[in-house]
Amino acid sequence: MKKQRLWLLFLLIFLALAGTLVLRAQDRSALRPPKGAKIALVVFQDLECPDCARAHPLIEEAARTYKIPVVQHDFPLPYHQWSLEAAVMARYFDSKSAKLGDQFRTEVFAHQPEITKENLRAFADKFAAAHKVTLPVFVDPEGKFAAAIEADKALGQRIGITHTPTLYVVSNRRGGTPFVEVVDRSKLYQQIDEMKRATD
């Protein structure tokens, strides 16, 4: 009887671990380039994160240099006061055009030290006016932008994201290593080159 219980316990632990590994494999499959692209950069970021602001110009430059897309995921950290609200605004601008949303994120990163929870709205209003767009009083009345951000955050948590920015070089390869996390950003170009060689 004791051996049966012990065996059952081991079986349950094994099944739980196997389920976790399968789930991780499925979640990691989200680390793929958009349709039609062989390689892309995937970044999980927080608009209030100083290291994200430092990484942003390098990511944009690499995307331009290699002519590859950047897939941006919002991962607002709970201790940042205005990052979620800024992400909602970025999603609103995305709904007008992807280019406009990207420009807003770039402006937020460039002016991050000056932005506070109190002046974020004025900053966004000024950006909207400069781009001839109206920013409504209630940016997300149905909560659809907030829901999309929460989905990004949940995806990041399932993948195992613990910090921002978390940056990957991803490919459409079926075998081998289809993605690699960029831990040392000084090696970003090298990692893109290596992924290109492996994909060609």
Instruction: Print pLDDT tens along the chain (200 aa).
Output: 555 554 444 433 443 444 434 334 445 667 999 999 999 999 999 999 999 999 999 999 999 999 999 999 999 999 999 999 999 999 999 999 999 999 999 999 999 999 999 999 999 999 999 999 999 999 999 999 999 999 999 999 999 999 999 999 999 988 778 999 999 999 999 999 999 999 88
CA distance 174 to 1: 47
Name the burial class of residue 46, with classes exposed (0-12), middle (13-18) and buried (19+) by CB atoms within 10 angstroms of its CB.
buried
Locate tokens 């030290």: which residue? 113
Positive or negative, the CA dihedral 191, 196, 199, 200 is: negative
Say whether pTM exceeds 0.85.
no
Asked if the peptide bond before residue 165 counts as cis, ω within 30 degrees of 0, the response is yes
